[in-house]
A and B are shown apart, each in its own frame.
Chain A
Amino acid sequence: MEINANMLWIVQIVSIFSASLAISIAAFGGAAGQGKAAASAVDAIARQPEAGDRIFTSLILSLALIESLVIYALAVALVLIFANPFTAQLVKYIEIVGK
């Protein structure tokens, strides 16, 4: 397969598109899960206000655990946009071919 500068454009376009896709899907799922967790926690506090502190503690913990999955998607998107390994590899190849 011939390596030329057009492939760099294709890799960059695919990276940008997949980064935004990853973030949007992860944010959708994370928001749905966090909404469910927060709704049931508010329900529980309204039913039993004296247990509010313990419920709040476990709510924060579970929100953090749900959010961490979204954060993994964010990390992948950041790598794709700011530190893309495939683009760097392709630039190196193109330089070798150009010589």
Chain B
Amino acid sequence: MDKPNVEVQTRTKKTPLFKKKVFWVAMLFFAMYVAVFLIPFPPVSHHGIEIGPQDTTFQLFGAPLKNTFFALFISTAIFSTIIIYLGTGIKKPGSTRAVLAEMIVTSIKSLTNSILGHEGTKYEVAVGTFFGYILISNLLGIVSSLFVPFYSLNQNFKMVIAPTTDLMVTAGFALSATFYFHTQYVRVKGLGKYLKHYISPYAFMLPINILEEVSRPLSLAVRLFGNLTGEHIVLEVIASLVAFVVPCIIMMLGLFTGSVQALVFTMLFMVYLQPGISAKGGH
């Protein structure tokens, strides 16, 4: 019984901080961050808070492409890379990659199970995709604040920004979620029951039910957009006052906000999905 404990203790023996690789990587990033502020930049021409979609120098058929378009590409690339890295090529159980993949899968399973119950096992993939994609899109905004000093160099550095500060991107997320749970309602319970739930419990509730269904994607989109935009406005205002270390506090708050908003979007998606797929009946 004693042997594993001894092994664990020897493995986690104190190594001095300057011998760790992680420490030097962090110091490298910090040095780069300091060096950026020491480089003399030309004076910034604009004085204003720039949040959300802005024009870049790239064009498609003569129309300027917004920076959130590229930001969505970046977050898609990061998300697919993580999923492909974790999902393929696991050699042996117990390796770091296998443990990470297992952790993610079990946490998504428990999240789905807590709201949808045992009927939700089919929908774990959709739930996990929404959660991961929105989480990475939100957290890209934290990375974007490292690029703020470069804005005066080139307009195209604004491409690294949270894509969810664009209302069109969040509307896309919300509309795809809405399309998904409506089609699942029809697929699981049939078209008759789907149409019947508009006139339940009484026929005169029809306009109220339609209004409820219409307001769902609207509220999903505006909630995500408003939270992320508000957080980024606070970040920019603080950064325009004190640009050096103080924004880090707001960035930590931003980590929390981004994760909670991704969780809230996923949970509301599951709550809206539940009357369509549960055997207990509608709401």
A interface, CB within 8 angstroms of B: 53-54, 57, 60-61, 64, 67-68, 71-72, 74-75, 78, 82
- Contact status B222-A57, CB under 8 Å: no
Chain A nearest CB, measured from B80 CB (Å):
28
Contacts of A71 in B (CB 8 A): 222-223, 226-227, 230
- Contact status A57-B225, CB under 8 Å: no
- Contact status B226-A57, CB under 8 Å: no
Q: Which among B68-76, B136-144, B261-269 touches the partner chain?
A: B261-269
> In the complex, which of the residues B222, B230, B263 contacts A60, with contact meaning CB atoms closer than 8 Å?
B263
- Give B234-260 as 1s and 0s: 1 = Cβ < 8 Å from A's Cβ atoms: 000000000000000000000000001
- Contact status B219-A68, CB under 8 Å: yes
- Give B260-283 as 1s and 0s: 1 = Cβ < 8 Å from A's Cβ atoms: 100110011001000000000000
Chain B nearest CB, measured from A66 CB (Å):
11
With A and B bound together, what is the CA distance between A74 and B51 in angstroms? 14
With most chain A CB atoms within 10 A of its CB, the pick from B51, B115, B223, B227 is B223
- Contact status A54-B114, CB under 8 Å: yes
> In the complex, which of the residues B114, B222, B230, B264 contacts A64, with contact meaning CB atoms closer than 8 Å?
B264
16 A-B residue pairings within 8 Å (CB atoms): A54-B114, A57-B267, A61-B267, A64-B223, A64-B264, A64-B268, A67-B223, A68-B219, A68-B226, A71-B222, A71-B223, A71-B227, A72-B222, A75-B222, A78-B229, A82-B51
B interface, CB within 8 angstroms of A: 51, 114-115, 219, 222-223, 225-227, 229-230, 260, 263-264, 267-268, 271
- Contact status B219-A60, CB under 8 Å: no
Contacts of A57 in B (CB 8 A): 114-115, 267
Contacts of B227 in A (CB 8 A): 67, 71
- Contact status A68-B114, CB under 8 Å: no
- Contact status B268-A61, CB under 8 Å: yes
Q: Known pairs A64-B268, A72-B222. 4 more at Cβ < 8 A?
A: A54-B114, A57-B114, A75-B222, A82-B51
* A75 and B268 contact, Cβ closer than 8 Å, known pairs A53-B114, A54-B114: no
Chain A nearest CB, measured from B237 CB (Å):
13
Contacts of B230 in A (CB 8 A): 71, 74
Contacts of A67 in B (CB 8 A): 223, 227
Contacts of B264 in A (CB 8 A): 60-61, 64
Chain B nearest CB, measured from A46 CB (Å):
21
With A and B bound together, what is the CA distance between A61 and B269 in angstroms? 11
With most chain A CB atoms within 10 A of its CB, the pick from B51, B226, B227, B260 is B226
User: Which residue in chain B gives the minimum CB-CB distance to A70?
Assistant: B226
Chain A nearest CB, measured from B268 CB (Å):
7
User: Which residue in chain A gives the minimum CB-CB distance to B51?
Assistant: A82
Contacts of A53 in B (CB 8 A): 114
Chain B nearest CB, measured from A79 CB (Å):
11
> In the complex, which of the residues A54, A61, A68, A74 contacts B271, with contact meaning CB atoms closer than 8 Å?
A61
* A60 and B226 contact, Cβ closer than 8 Å, known pairs A54-B114, A68-B219: no
Chain B nearest CB, measured from A27 CB (Å):
11
Chain A nearest CB, measured from B214 CB (Å):
15
With A and B bound together, what is the CA distance between A56 and B114 in angstroms? 11
> In the complex, which of the residues A60, A78, A82 contacts B260, with contact meaning CB atoms closer than 8 Å?
A60
